[in-house]
Amino acid sequence: MKIETKCIQSGYTPKNGEARVVPIAQSTTFKYETSEDMGKLFDLEAAGFFYTRLANPTLDAVEKKIADLEGGVGAMLTSSGQAASLTVVTNICKCGDHIICSSAVYGGTFNLFAKTMKDLGIDCTFVASDVSEEELNNSFRENTKLVFTESVTNPSLDVADIEMFARCAHAHGVPLCVDNTFPTPINLRPFEWGADLIIHSTSKYMDGHAVALGGVVVDSGNFDWNNGKFPMLTEPDESYHGLVYTESFGKAAFITKARTHIMRDMGPQQSPMNAFLLNLGLETLFLRMPRHCENAMAVAEYLENNDKVEWVNYPSLKSSKYYDLVQKYMPNGTCGVVSFGVKGGRKAAEELMKNFKLAAIVTHVADARTCCLHPASATHRQMTDEQLKACGIEPNMIRFSVGIENKEDIIADLRQAFEKI
């Protein structure tokens, strides 16, 4: 099936007389005839539902749909995008291990890796988004277990050379995880370029209406864990009577362990109601993404021709330093987020923010409604100027998340806001 059809059809096929739409299984638990039936589930000998912290029919349908959209062997929903990143790292790293991450990743991911993971004994080396292959190769250590990057970074909109990241990761026997939140599988499918794992904050375009917080981890099934670096996947797990994930679950070893170990022990599960709402968003993802991209391009071109604007950053623009990478990886569009610098520095940016009428000031991005944010005074305020610069954030930068309204109305709002400064 083509991706549009997958958005609508994948993940759930009702049997005779069953609900046409994925039902909300708003139940923490599931009933069995015998203890033996349930015991098989606990021993991972049979598949089924017993407790929603581990699996739930509504979540299961949505997970299958997202796995299909990305072209993976399996997916696991999480309570948020943060929980998805946490799951990927803790599923294969323990105290004493090391990961490599591009420094322009989402602020929450940066904090998670720079502080919280470090406190837990998992060290992270940050590299520039446009790091050279040589420098990236030199960042690996004996104990490196993962490379993590964002396909299009939030908010600096850097574009990752996924093939290069994958090549380096594989040369050192570790997987590449790509946060594909901004392009979504409509615009980019990182597994086709060598990535091994994908995470999303489904709170963004996938939901698309800003109603349900959520995340997802997707496993390509392509990474060979049998290289001595990942004993947690290739050696017996005592909490399951000595089961070996790679032997019992083959290509789905990583995603099965993410559920049966990390979700079991840490519990960042998505609610069935949120999964239901996410599924509604997914059904129109292929209609919304091209519109976001078309509107964002019009906004970016308007800003480029505005003499109160110091710079415009939109990866699909010809003037972007990522233009060539975009033509390779995302020729049909990147995302709906545009950033720009207002002439006059931090103060001018703060002034402009006060004048928007249609564009709302919210921390969120990537939903149907146009919204905006001044990161230096909001999401990134904990960061030092040095860290801000390392993330590619200028004090006068405004992140403008272009919605799917009529683009003339969005540009009119920008025009009237600029006229007042």
Ligand X SMILES: *Cc1c(COP(=O)(O)O)cnc(C)c1O
Cβ at position 375, least distance to ligand X in Å: 12
Stretch that binds ligand X, among 197-205, 384-392, 393-401, 405-413 (CB under 6 A): 197-205
Contact pick of 12, 49, 106, 400 for ligand X (by CB under 6 A): 106
- In sequence order, the 6+-apart residues with CB closer than 8 A to the CB of 358 are 370, 405, 409, 410, 412, 413
Strand pairing category for 371-373 and 360-361:
parallel
How many residues of this chain interact with ligand X, rule: CB under 6 A?
15
C-alpha distances in angstroms, 76 versus 37, 197, 263?
24, 12, 9
Q: Which of 87, 203 has the CB closer to ligand X?
A: 203
Q: Interface with ligand X includes 401 (CB under 6 A)? A: no
Cβ at position 287, least distance to ligand X in Å: 21
Q: Interface with ligand X includes 213 (CB under 6 A)? A: yes
Q: Nearest-CB residue to ligand X?
A: 81
Q: Interface with ligand X includes 350 (CB under 6 A)? A: no
Task: For the beta carbon of residue 212, count every other beta carbon within 10 angstroms.
Answer: 21
Contact pick of 181, 269, 279, 295 for ligand X (by CB under 6 A): 181
Site map (CB under 6 A) of ligand X, residues 74-93, x = contact: ------xxx-----------
CA-CA distance, 208 to 211, in Å (whole number)?
8
Restricting to residues 218-247, name those near ligand X by CB under 6 A: none
CA-CA distance, 109 to 101, in Å (whole number)?
9
* Burial of 19: CB neighbours in 10 Å, binned 0-12, 13-18, 19+: exposed
- In sequence order, the 6+-apart residues with CB closer than 8 A to the CB of 66 are 11, 75, 77, 185, 200, 202, 206, 216, 218, 282
Contact pick of 52, 58, 87, 109 for ligand X (by CB under 6 A): 109
Q: Which of 82, 139 has the CB closer to ligand X?
A: 82
* Burial of 5: CB neighbours in 10 Å, binned 0-12, 13-18, 19+: exposed
Cβ at position 80, least distance to ligand X in Å: 3
Q: Which of 44, 210 has the CB closer to ligand X?
A: 210
First to last CA, the chain: 51
Give residue 250's identity as a one-letter amino acid code. Answer: G
Contact pick of 215, 333, 336, 403 for ligand X (by CB under 6 A): 215
CA-CA distance, 48 to 330, in Å (whole number)?
38
Cβ at position 78, least distance to ligand X in Å: 9
Contact pick of 23, 108, 268, 290 for ligand X (by CB under 6 A): 108
- In sequence order, the 6+-apart residues with CB closer than 8 A to the CB of 401 are 336, 337, 364, 365, 366, 367, 370, 371, 372, 373
Cβ at position 245, least distance to ligand X in Å: 26
Stretch that binds ligand X, among 43-51, 105-113, 229-237, 327-335 (CB under 6 A): 105-113
Q: Which of 107, 194 has the CB closer to ligand X?
A: 107
**Backbone dihedral angles phi then psi of residue 394, each to the nearest 5 degrees:** -95, 150
Cβ at position 402, least distance to ligand X in Å: 15
| Relative orientation angle of helices 345-355 and 407-419, to the nearest 10 degrees | 120
Stretch that binds ligand X, among 65-73, 201-209, 243-251, 317-325 (CB under 6 A): 201-209
Q: Which of 90, 154 has the CB closer to ligand X?
A: 154
- In sequence order, the 6+-apart residues with CB closer than 8 A to the CB of 45 are none
Q: Which of 230, 336 has the CB closer to ligand X?
A: 336
Cβ at position 153, least distance to ligand X in Å: 7
For residue 377, the 8-state DSSP code is: G
Which stretches of the chain bind ligand X, using CB under 6 A?
80-82, 106, 108-109, 150, 154, 179, 181, 201, 203-204, 213, 215
